Amino acid sequence: MATGQTMPYLACAASMLGGRFTRAAVHDLTAANRFIKAAKAARPLPLVFRALLEDLRLRLFVDASSVKLGVPTAHTGVAVFASPVTGAPGLLRPDTKLTLLAYALHRQRRVTHSSFAAEVYAMLEGARMAFELASTQAHVFAGDAHAVASIDVYTDNLSLYNMLDADGVVQPKKVRAAGQELRDFYHGGTVATVTWLRARGQLVYALTKAGRNTPLQQMIQTGRFNVRLQDGDYLSMSSMAAGQGGVYASSSSPDDGAYGNKEECE
């Protein structure tokens, strides 16, 4: 219950333990006690939800656990945040105000044989979720279901970032339709910007890899992004249909990011 409402940064740990319930061993009990201890220690931590009194942008963070040998499906982690429209689109500064609107963590329904495919399905699910939230927000606050807020998408998968603005055919074939729908979201302007950023700035990293004192936990406590990104930590591009297109942030020798020694949801 707590990981579904007030402690999303522990959701991956809860999911990981739940998946081992029927084959639990002593080390799983040790892990469960460790996570319960962490949950009790986090009880006094605040949850900051800032008032939504101004024009907004929706910030969508998406991630998928890596596909490993013997594990035919990956986990999806998505989260949608609201923030003021002030500031450069796509770019997130440490003091950027963020309000968590919705998040989800679950095993993907499709069998995936590559981490790239898992990331494509995760981003597509997140884009649909963000667009639904944007439409609801426009209908309630503006009275016009078509006056949707701009959506900025953040991923730590460089291959997926490059695919959205490329002309090549997505492989394998099963992923092609999902990839094309994502391109339609981007080129049609539904997704205003797409940003690749290193794993340390990926807020939903905590939804697919169990860890402690994650950026998501710090964001929930302060209501701000709190991660300082250097020039080499991100790349951003904006849709021509949503405004001035093109890449407006550059990175030196970016890669798909090293995730460190954190345990992934299985």
CATH number of the domain to which 222 belongs: 3.30.420.10
| Assigned domain for 264 exists | no
**CA terminus-to-terminus distance, the chain:** 20
Q: Of the residues 45, 65, 81, which one is the last residue of a structural domain?
A: 45
125 and 198 both lie in a single domain = yes
In a domain, 167, yes or no: yes
231 or 88, greater pLDDT: 231
- Total structural domains within the chain: 2
230 and 163 share a domain?
yes
Higher per-residue confidence, 56 vs 151: 151
| pLDDT at res. 205 | 84
153 within some domain: yes
Residue 265 falls inside a structural domain = no
Given a cut of 70, whether residue 109 has pLDDT beyond it is yes
Q: Residues 81, 32: one domain? A: no
**Is there a single domain that holds both residue 170 and residue 200?**
yes
User: Is residue 95 domain-resident?
Assistant: yes
> For tokens 């490329």, what's the residue?
166
What is the model's pLDDT at position 258?
39
- Parent domain of 227: 48-256
- Mean pLDDT, range 230-250, rounded to an integer: 75
Q: Are 175 and 187 found together in one domain?
A: yes
> Does 253 have pLDDT greater than 50?
no
253: tokens are 């020798």
Residue 248 or 65, more confident: 65
* In-domain check, residue 262: no
Mean pLDDT of 7-14: 66
Do 6 and 111 share a domain, yes or no? Answer: no
Asked if 29 and 60 sit in the same domain, the reply is: no
Task: List, as own/partner pairs, every contact residues 36-39 make where C-beta atoms lie below 8 angstroms and the sequence separation is at least 24, other chains included.
Answer: 38/10, 38/13, 38/212, 39/2, 39/7, 39/10
Q: Which residue has the higher pLDDT, 102 or 73?
A: 102
Residue with the two structure tokens 């020694």: 261
Is residue 266 situated within a structural domain? no
The runs of H, that is alpha helices, within the chain are 2-5, 11-19, 26-41, 115-137, 158-164, 173-187, 205-208, 215-222
Mean pLDDT (whole number) for 160-189: 86
| Helix, strand, coil fractions of the chain, as percent rounded to 5 | 40, 20, 40
| pTM of the predicted protein model | 0.79
In a domain? residue 246: yes
Residue 162 confidence (pLDDT) above 80: yes
Q: Are 8 and 98 part of one and the same domain? A: no
246 and 145 both lie in a single domain:
yes
Pair 9, 132 in one domain: no
Q: What is the pLDDT of residues 13-66, one digit of tens each?
A: 666 666 666 677 777 677 777 777 776 776 777 676 667 667 889 999 999 887
- 162 and 141: one domain? yes
Q: Are residues 67 and 118 in the same domain?
A: yes
Buried b (16+ CB within 10 A) or exposed e, 245-262: beeebebeebebbebeee
In angstroms, the Cα distances linking 190 to 29, 85, 101, 128 are 45, 16, 18, 10
